[in-house]
A and B are shown apart, each in its own frame.
Chain A
């Protein structure tokens, strides 16, 4: 069964540094998402991406965040200047276009900001 893959599984970065989290969605999926989960808290929506553009973003997704689908297979989340509060688990998800289809999640990237 095809899966969403995320790399790296764990990223440790100094505060203020840029970080790129990578995701390879399932190949025939058309909607892509990033979520984050701060330790002990719920999974929160960050951004959705469809037809090569952001379709919705949350209040969390400020100017420090950006997403890209550079080559038709990868889907990346970039944080320009990381803050301590960016430490969290980041999940990528994708889904088919058709109605009532669930999202499929990757294993997540644990981001630790020092």
Chain B
């Protein structure tokens, strides 16, 4: 079965604290994974993709095939990071996305 699980609906952290948003996937093929962010009812914006192994806005994510995870991390959260974060699995063939349920990150002052 193809599935993406984001176990936390809401994650609240204080400014300057580390943050980790969890994402686990189930997929029989070779996974292509992405993180998208949605600020306050705006469009889904690409944050990270596993293939690029880059850091955007201080966020990183590592694909762990053994644990079937693609957790999003940032060492020091900022208030402007408050948003909805979605993990997405791209399937082969039509490249459609399967999304997780999303995690709302609230960074408290």
Q: Which A residues fall within an 8 A CB radius of B?
A: 4, 31, 33, 35, 41-45, 48, 50, 55-56, 91, 93, 95, 100, 102-108
Contacts and interface: CB of A to CB of B under 8 A. Distances in A.
Contacts of A105: 36, 43-45
Interface string B94-109: 1111111110000000
A107 B39 CA distance: 11
A37 to B, nearest CB: 9
Contacts of B36: 105
Q: Is the interface of A mostly helix, strand, loop or mixed?
A: strand
Nearest to B6: A42
Interface residues of B, number: 21
A31 B100 CA distance: 22
Contact of A45 (B46, B51, B96): B96
B49 to A, nearest CB: 6
Contacts of B99: 35, 42-44
A45 B98 contact: yes
Contacts of B101: 41-42
A63 to B, nearest CB: 20
Interface string B26-44: 0000001010100000111
Nearest to A45: B96
Given A43-B99, A100-B32, A102-B49, A50 B94 contact: yes
A43 B34 CA distance: 14
Given A50-B94, A100-B51, A105-B36, 15 more contacts: A4-B43, A33-B96, A35-B99, A42-B100, A42-B102, A43-B99, A44-B99, A48-B96, A55-B94, A102-B34, A102-B46, A103-B97, A105-B43, A105-B44, A108-B43
Given A100-B49, A102-B34, A43 B44 contact: yes
A106 B97 CA distance: 15
Given A42-B99, A43-B99, A56 B94 contact: yes
Contacts of B94: 31, 48, 50, 55-56
Nearest to B102: A42
Contacts of A35: 97, 99
